[in-house]
Amino acid sequence: MRLSLRFIVPLLVVLSAMAYAVVPLVDRLTVRWFIRDLGIRATLVARTIEEPLAEIAREGNRARAQRLFTKIAQDERIFALAYCEDGAKPALSTVSMPPELNCDAIDQYTAPESSHNVYASPSGPLLVSVRPLSADSTATGRLVLVHDMSFVARRSEETRRYLFGFFAALALTVSLITVVVAQLSWRGWVQGLRALLRGEGLVRPAVKSDRAELRPIARDLRSLIQDIRAEHRSREDEREPWDGEALRAILEGELRGQEVIVVSNREPYLHVRDGEQIAVRQPASGLVTALEPIMRACSGTWIAHGSGNADRAVVDRHDRIAVPADHPAYTLRRVWLSPEEEAGYYYGFSNEGLWPLCHIAHVRPTFREQDWQQYVRVNTKFADAVAKEATTADPIVLVQDYHFALLPRMVRERLPNATIITFWHIPWPNPEAFGICPWRDELLDGMLGSSILGFHTQFHCNNFVDTVDRFLEARVDRETFAVSYRQQPTAIRRYPISVEFPPAPELVEESVEAAREVIRARHSLPPRHLIGVGVDRLDYTKGIEERFRAVQRFLELNPEWVGQFSFIQIAAPTRSRIDHYQLYEDRVRRLAAEINGQFGAAAHPPIILHARHHEPRAVYEYLRGADICFVSSLHDGMNLVAKGFIAARDDEQGVLILSQFTGAARELPEAIIVNPYDAEECAHALQLAATMSADEQRARMRLMRGLLREFNVFRWAGRMLLDAAGVRRHSRLRERFAFPLRVHGTRRRREVRAS
Ligand code: G6P
């Protein structure tokens, strides 16, 4: 209604203005027409009486002439009549002739160029017409005819009334039509547009109530709005808080409800036989720790190797199972591997080849042709699984880690429109180190099938770009950190991974005080005993031996702590079929025993080694109940135990000692940063941690928790998804306008180096 009024009021104003402009115009026009008609009439009268008047003049019968005039003057329009004879004779005129219009004065009432004029007499307007008369072609005099013009004023008044009436009726009709049409049509449009602006039908097909005529523009409008919104958001990924809800909003908004498929070797839940029962276990894997909350938020499908001995027993006929069991949130699709495949792809190429290659931790990589064959085979198997699980042509595929370097290219071949984000969870070495891999080119080619390739640190991004530049014929743009290879761009980005913050409530259910008591009681330690903790897989990259050596040196240098301090090492056995891992486990066990032997007289052993798997809750209990957490990796992409310790400490107490060779050290300068190869330095760090005041602990912990609050794992995933949305917008634009990747597609490589 308001809209109709907004339209009608200006319409009425316009119509009134028109009426006021038109009426005087019409007035002037009708007066002019009447004057012209009266002029013609005057000529007619003059012609008609010319002859009888000449005759009367010849007779000299003035009385007859007077009668003739009186008769003519009976016409209701003729006001007066006079005959001004040439010569001195007195004029003949009707009595009604105003005296000021006598024959002598007549000239001043008629302009010389006109034969009539309007005279405003006290009784109203009069039209004075003067016509020459003649007889036998001889001029005899002039006839003065005065018409009463009051009827013109009456007619004008009437015309004005009609015109105003006409405009009023017109306004009314137009208004009525407008209201009706506006109500019917405008409402529909507005509803349609509002629905679009609200985003209805943005991720679903347009609702039925959408007006048919809106549909052609609906798609464009939706795209435009979403792109503007997305552009705005992705420019500043400042949304707070970063949680599952924020991720869901990105998926629904920027990514238009696109399906998400995660691929990793390690599965988030393993089903294992425990006697007659089937138990569910969460593996010790930083990758799983990070991705699990993401998948709980995003739903979608997680494709992974089904490695639990009861995994087959619980899946459906499509090898799928909804997880987690208590609150199913996403689908786990298991891929089965034969013993040969597992041996070659997982143990062989991935963990005897790529793992030591990328970590450079003094274990020589081993590359075998048959392992490579299995690696190719298993990557192909997973690529087929991705294609099978995808319900759309352009899903978002999140490829995880070094087990799947070939997968991005294989998925690209099967699903050319997929947005593929590959995240490399381990370090990327320099080109010289990577170059020793016999299949380095194939690996790089496979990875460059990704739309975006992520690493934890800029250092690893630089190493990767250098490696591509060294070994492939690709265009490397170091300004934008993009590689263009086989006509396809890959953005190289730094995404430092993190943990869920705040942590899941069940992990911090038990109070810190309770956790302190429980773990001390469990190990028969006194309530005030100082405890350091380490949580790792039994992996040679983790620097567990170096950590034990640091404890040994700490106690040697600070004997007052002997019997007062114990270091509890939680160590999950891992990749145990590989010689290096078996040897490592043996070495670690032996070293622990040796150090405990050295301080055998102490009331409590310096090292407590738990070489078995612990579920996340149990790990959290140790992290909450300890005084010190020691992370001494010799090389680590990020290390989520360090971040997990900080997340666990809502009491703002506890000291983190952190290896400088972890990605985490770059983000957590408030930790005590150490070189794990330097036993003296590490011993000193332990002494610092053992004696650190509660205030200093709180100050450091607060800063570190502040970082986690801001950069938690949801933000890690969110930034990747926002970048994926950016990639998709870009390719939509390219499809629409068919512009090339670069104007000069084959220009030589750019040599600008990133600072
Ligand atoms: C590292 C790797 C992960 C792997 C985890 C556990 O964190 O980056 O991909 O899952 O180690 O290793 P595992 O071989 O037991 O899966």
Report the 3 state secondary structure along 271-337. Answer: EEEECCEEEEECCCCHHHHHHHHHHHHHCCEEEEECCCCCHHHHCCCCCEEEECCCCCCEEEEEECC
Task: For residues 539-568, give the mean pLDDT.
Answer: 98
Share of the chain above pLDDT 70, in %: 88
8 A C-beta contact, residue 181 and residue 107: no
Give phi and psi for 162, each to the nearest 5.
-60, -45
User: In angstroms, rounded to a whole number, what is the distance separating the alpha carbons of residues 704 and 650?
Assistant: 11
- The answer, yes or no, to whether any atom of ligand 1 lies below 6 A from the CB of 285, is yes
What local confidence, expressed as pLDDT, does residue 111 receive? 57
Strand ranges across the sheet with 482-485 = 320-323, 330-335, 301-305, 260-263, 396-400, 419-423, 452-455, 488-494, 482-485, 475-477
Q: Tell me which of 262, 263, 267, 287 to substitute to probe ligand 1's pocket, judged by most ligand atoms within 8 Å of the beta carbon.
A: 287
Q: What is the DSSP letter of 662?
A: B
- Tell me the C-alpha distance between 447 and 421, whole Å: 10
Q: Could you tell me the CA-to-CA distances from 529 to 514, 521, 548 in Å, in that order?
A: 14, 10, 18
Q: With 80 as the cut, is the pLDDT of residue 634 above it?
A: yes
Give long-range contacts, CB 8 A cutoff, 24+ apart: 98-107. 98/126, 98/146, 101/128, 101/144, 101/146, 103/142, 103/144, 106/82, 106/130, 106/142, 106/144
Question: For the residues 105-124, what does the mean pLDDT come to?
Answer: 71
Q: What is the pLDDT of residue 197?
A: 55
Average pLDDT of span 201-209: 42
Phi then psi for residue 566, to 5 deg, are -135, 145
pLDDT band at 369 (very low <50, low <70, confident <90, very high): very high
Would you say residue 20 has pLDDT above 80? no
Q: Report pLDDT for 214.
A: 65
Q: How many CB atoms lie within 10 A of CB 621?
A: 21
The pick from 264, 265, 282, 285 for probing ligand 1's pocket by mutation, whose C-beta has the most ligand atoms within 8 angstroms, reads 285
Rounded to the nearest angstrom, the distance between the alpha carbon of 733 and the centre of ligand 1 is 38
Rounded distance from Cα 285 to ligand 1 centre (Å): 5
Per-residue pLDDT band for 564 (boundaries 50, 70, 90) equals very high
CA of 308 to the centre of ligand 1 (A): 15
Rounded to an integer, what is the distance from CA 415 to the centroid of its chain?
24
pLDDT tens track for 437-449: 999 999 999 999 9
Residue 212 pLDDT greater than 70, yes or no: no
Buried/exposed 355-391: b ≥16 CB within 10 Å, e otherwise: bbbbbbbebebbbeeebbbbbbebbebbbebbbebbe
What pLDDT sits at residue 354?
98
Determine the Cα–Cα distance for residues 408 and 384; give it in Å rounded to an integer. 12
Is the CB of residue 317 less than 8 Å from the CB of residue 347? no
Q: In what order do the strands lie in the sheet with 628-631?
A: 607-610, 565-572, 530-537, 628-631, 655-659, 672-674
CA Rg, the chain, in Å?
50
Q: Is 574 in the pocket of ligand 1 (CB under 6 A)?
A: yes
Confidence (pLDDT) at 588:
98
Ligand 1 pocket check for 456: Cβ under 6 Å: no
Cα 227-232-234 angle, rounded to 5 deg: 90
The better pLDDT of the pair 751, 464 is held by 464
Among 117-126, 220-229, 413-422, name the one with the lowest average pLDDT.
220-229
The more confident residue out of 564 and 31 is: 564
Statement: residue 740 has pLDDT above 70: no
More reliable by pLDDT, 134 or 251: 251
**Predicted confidence (pLDDT) per residue in 692-714, tens digit:** 999 999 999 999 999 999 999 99
Residue type present at position 748: R
User: Between residues 294 and 200, which one has the greater pLDDT?
Assistant: 294
Whole-number pLDDT of residue 39 = 82
- Residue of 730 and 457 predicted with greater confidence: 457
327 Cα–ligand 1 center, Å: 25
Tokens of 300: 């979608």
Least-confidence region, from 215-219, 238-242, 684-688: 215-219
- Residue of the CA atom closest to atom 8 of ligand 1: 425
**Mean pLDDT of all residues in the chain?**
88
Measured in residues, the chain has a length of 755
Ligand 1 atom closest to 403 (CA): 9
Is the CB of 305 within 6 Å of ligand 1?
Answer: no
287 lines ligand 1 (CB under 6 A): yes
Q: What is the pLDDT of residue 162?
A: 82
What token pair was written down for 42? 């005057």
Kindly tell me if the per-residue pLDDT of 208 is higher than 50.
no
Quick one: average pLDDT of 510-524?
A: 98
Q: Quick check: 297 pLDDT over 50?
A: yes
- What pLDDT is attached to residue 209? 47
Distance 443 CA to ligand 1 centre (A): 19
Tally Cβ neighbours within 10 Å of residue 624: 26
Q: Of the ranges 82-91, 678-687, 731-740, which one carries the lowest mean pLDDT score? A: 82-91
List all residues 6 or more positions away from 420 whose beta carbon is below 8 Å from its beta carbon: 397, 399, 408, 411, 412, 449, 450, 451, 452
Return the SS3 of 240.
Answer: coil
Taking 50 as the threshold, does the pLDDT of residue 743 lie above it? no
Token pair, residue 390, equals 């995808």
Three-state DSSP class for residue 475: strand
Question: Which pairing describes strands 672-674 and 655-659: parallel, antiparallel, or unpaired?
Answer: parallel
Q: 734 C-alpha to center of ligand 1: Å?
A: 38
pLDDT bin (cut points 50, 70, 90) of residue 733 is confident
pLDDT at 750 over 70: no
pLDDT of residue 112: 57
Q: 736 falls in which pLDDT band (50, 70, 90)?
A: confident
Contact 659, 631 (CB under 8 A): yes
Which is the closest atom of ligand 1 to the Cα of 286?
Answer: 7
Q: What is the mean pLDDT of residues 573-582?
A: 97
575 CB under 6 A from ligand 1? yes
Beta bridge partners of 453: 422, 492
What pLDDT is stored for residue 158 in this prediction? 81
Nearest atom (ligand 1) to Cα of 284:
6
Return phi, psi of residue 340, to 5°: -70, -45
Which residue owns the Cα nearest ligand 1 atom 11? 285
Q: CA 43, CA 50: separation in Å to the nearest integer? A: 10
Segment 493-500 mean pLDDT: 98
Residue 150 has pLDDT above 90, yes or no: no
For ligand 1, the distance from its centroid to the CA atom of residue 572, given in whole angstroms, is 12
Nearest alpha carbon to residue 282 among 222, 243, 323, 342 = 323
User: How many angstroms separate the first and last alpha carbons of the chain?
Assistant: 62
Report residue 211's pLDDT band, with 50, 70 and 90 as the boundaries: low
Atom of ligand 1 nearest to the CA of 346: 14
Bridge partners (DSSP) of residue 607 are: 567
Per-residue HEC secondary structure of 393-438 comes to: CCCEEEEECHHHCCHHHHHHHHCCCCEEEEECCCCCCCHHHHCCCC
What is the reported pLDDT for 207? 41
Contacts of 742 (CB under 8 A, 6+ apart): 475, 484
State both tokens at 156: 């004008």
Q: Calculate mean pLDDT across residues 151-162.
A: 79
**Partners of 532 in the beta sheet?**
567, 628
Between 131 and 601, the higher pLDDT residue: 601
Token couple for 520 = 């001390």
Q: Rounded to whole angstroms, how far apart are CA atoms 280 and 272? A: 6
Among 197, 223, 254, residue whose Cα is nearest residue 735: 223
Does ligand 1 come within 6 angstroms of the Cβ of 426?
Answer: yes
Per-residue pLDDT at 460: 98
Cα separation of 722 and 740, whole Å? Answer: 23
Q: Which of these ranges, 26-40, 176-190, 211-225, has the smallest mean pLDDT? A: 211-225
pLDDT at residue 473, as a whole number: 97
Q: What's residue 205's pLDDT? A: 41
pLDDT band at 333; cut points 50, 70, 90: very high
Query: pLDDT band for position 155 (50/70/90)?
Result: confident
- Interval 30-40 mean pLDDT: 83
Pairing between β-strand 138-148 and β-strand 124-135 as defined by DSSP bridges: antiparallel
Atom of ligand 1 nearest to the CA of 351: 14
pLDDT-based confidence at residue 742 (cuts at 50, 70, 90): low
425 lines ligand 1 (CB under 6 A): yes
Q: Which of 153-162, 241-250, 269-278, 386-395 has the lowest mean pLDDT?
A: 153-162
Residue to mutate, 263, 265, 266, 289, ligand 1, most ligand atoms under 8 Å from C-beta = 266
Q: Which of 205-209, 300-304, 430-434 has the lowest mean pLDDT?
A: 205-209
Q: Whose CA is nearest to atom 14 of ligand 1?
A: 575
Distance CA 330, CA 300 (A): 5
Q: Return d(Cα 281, Cα 313) in angstroms, integer.
A: 15
Structure confidence at residue 754 (pLDDT): 36
Q: Are the beta carbons of 472 and 441 closer than 8 angstroms?
A: yes
- Taken in order 429, 432, 433, 435, the sign of the CA dihedral is positive
Residue 612: how many other CB atoms lie within 10 Å: 10
Task: Quote the tokens at residue 651.
Answer: 């009491």
Centroid of ligand 1 to alpha carbon of 286 (angstroms) = 7
Alpha carbon nearest to ligand 1 atom 16, residue: 266
